[in-house]
Amino acid sequence: MDDDFFILGIESSCDDTSVAITNKNHVLSNIISSQLVHNQYGGVVPEIASREHMKNIVPVLKNALEVSKIDLNEIDLIAYTNGPGLSGSLIVGSSFAKSLAQTLSIPMTDVDHMKAHIHSIFLKNERNRYPKFPFLSLTVSGGHTQLVVVNDFNDFKKIGNTLDDAAGEAFDKTSKFLGLGYPGGPIIDNLSKKGNPIFEFSKPKIKDYDFSFSGLKTSIIYSIKKELKENSKFIGDNINDLCSSIQHSIVEILVEKTIKCAIDLDIKQICIVGGVSANSHLREKLKSECLINKFDLFYPKINYCTDNAAMIAVSGYFNHLNKKFSDLDKVIDSRLSF
C-alpha cells in the first residue's frame, strides 16, 4: 500500500458535528462543533440537532482541512456514520458524504457508530500501545452499554447489552433530577471528587453479562425524594456525596460485569470506549481491578471518547482494508504499520 492514505471522516449521529482527516490511523485534524443549544432543554432535541448539523457541517469541514493542511483533492476515502443515531442527524452527514464523494470521484464507506467507538482504541497514540486480539471492549455512552468480544478489526461479537437505560442515560437523568444540567456525566464526575459514596442504592441483579440501569435510576430518585420529605434542603446539603454515591453505584456495576466476563472468557486484554469511558472514577476502578487480575487495560485519549469523526475515519480505513484484501491475513499484516 502507499505510504499515505488520507481519510475524511464525518460524524453526525447525535448533537456533535465532527469532521476529521486522518492518514491511516494518524489523526491530522479532528474538529467537533458541539450543539450547546440543547443544554436549555435538558437533552437533545432531534429537529434542532438536524438543523444545527446543516448549518455547521461546511464550516467544520473547512476547519478540518485547514488544520490538517491536506487539500480536498488529496483525500482517498470518505467515511461517514450510518447509525445508530438520530435519523435526521444521520441523513445530514450521509447526504453530505455521498455528494462529496461523487464530486471528488473517490470511494466512500459507511461506518457503524458503535464499532467506530471500539476502533478509536487504534488511533495513534504517543506510546504506540494497542490491544491484541482477542480483547474485551466495554462500550459505554449516552445511549449504549455493551460488552463486545473483538476477534479482529471487523470481527465483533456482542455478548452483553443494556436491557433498558444505558449508563450514560442514568447519569443524565439523575443529573436532571438533581437540577445539575446536561450532559450529566461530566457534571456528576466533577462534583463527586469533592464527596464520598456514603449513600447506598438498590442495584439490579441481572444474569450473565447484560446491564440494567433503569432500576438503579428509580432507586436513586425514590431514595432522594424520601429524604426530601424530611429535609427540603437535602440535595443542596449533600450534593457532592450524592454525586459520589451515584457515580460509585453506576461504576461498580460496569466494572463487576466487565471483570467477570473477562475472567469467564479467559480474555486478558480489556478496553473501555465511548463517552462514559472519560469518567475518572470508572477509569481508576477498572484500572485497579485489571491490576489485581493481571489484565491489560486500554482506553482512548479523552478527546476520542465522546462522539468524534477521527474514530469514524479510522473505522472507515478498516472497512477499506477488509474490502481491498480478500485474504484476512493480509489485512492483519497491514495493520496501519503500528
Give the integer Cα–Cα distance in Å for 78 and 301. Answer: 23
Give the domain range for residue 27. 6-125+303-333
Sheet containing 77-83: order of strands? 26-34, 16-23, 6-11, 77-83, 108-112
What CATH number does residue 80 fall under? 3.30.420.40
Residues near 328 by Cβ (< 8 Å), separated by ≥ 6?
152, 322
Q: Render pLDDT for 177-186 as a digit per residue (tens, 0 to 9).
A: 999 988 899 9
Residues 273-297 have a mean pLDDT of: 96
Percentage helix, strand, coil, to 5, in the chain?
Answer: 50, 20, 30
Domain count, the chain: 2
**338 belongs to a structural domain:** no
Q: Render pLDDT for 147-192 as a digit per residue (tens, 0 to 9).
A: 999 999 999 999 999 999 999 999 999 999 999 988 899 999 999 9
Shared domain for 231 and 95, answered yes or no, is no
- List Cα–Cα distances, 83 to 111, 180, 247, in angstroms: 8, 29, 28
Shared domain for 79 and 172, answered yes or no, is no
Shared domain for 116 and 22, answered yes or no, is yes
**75 belongs to a structural domain:** yes
Buried b (16+ CB within 10 A) or exposed e, 223-246: bbeebeeeeeebbeebbebbbbbb
**13 belongs to a structural domain:** yes
Shared domain for 202 and 322, answered yes or no, is no
pTM: 0.90
Percent of all residues in the chain with a pLDDT value above 70, rounded to a whole number: 92
Q: Render pLDDT for 319-333 as a digit per residue (tens, 0 to 9).
A: 998 876 444 444 444
Shared domain for 195 and 288, answered yes or no, is yes
Question: Per-residue confidence at 41, pLDDT binned at 50, 70, 90?
Answer: low
Q: Render pLDDT for 3-25 as a digit per residue (tens, 0 to 9).
A: 899 999 999 998 889 999 999 99
**195 belongs to a structural domain:** yes
Shared domain for 139 and 209, answered yes or no, is yes
**Cβ atoms of residues 21 and 28 within 8 Å:** yes
The gap between the terminal CA atoms of the chain, to the nearest Å, is 14
Shared domain for 87 and 143, answered yes or no, is no
**146 belongs to a structural domain:** yes
For cell 469541514, the residue is: 61
Q: Render pLDDT for 208-256 as a digit per residue (tens, 0 to 9).
A: 999 999 999 999 999 999 999 999 999 999 999 999 999 999 999 999 9
Shared domain for 111 and 156, answered yes or no, is no
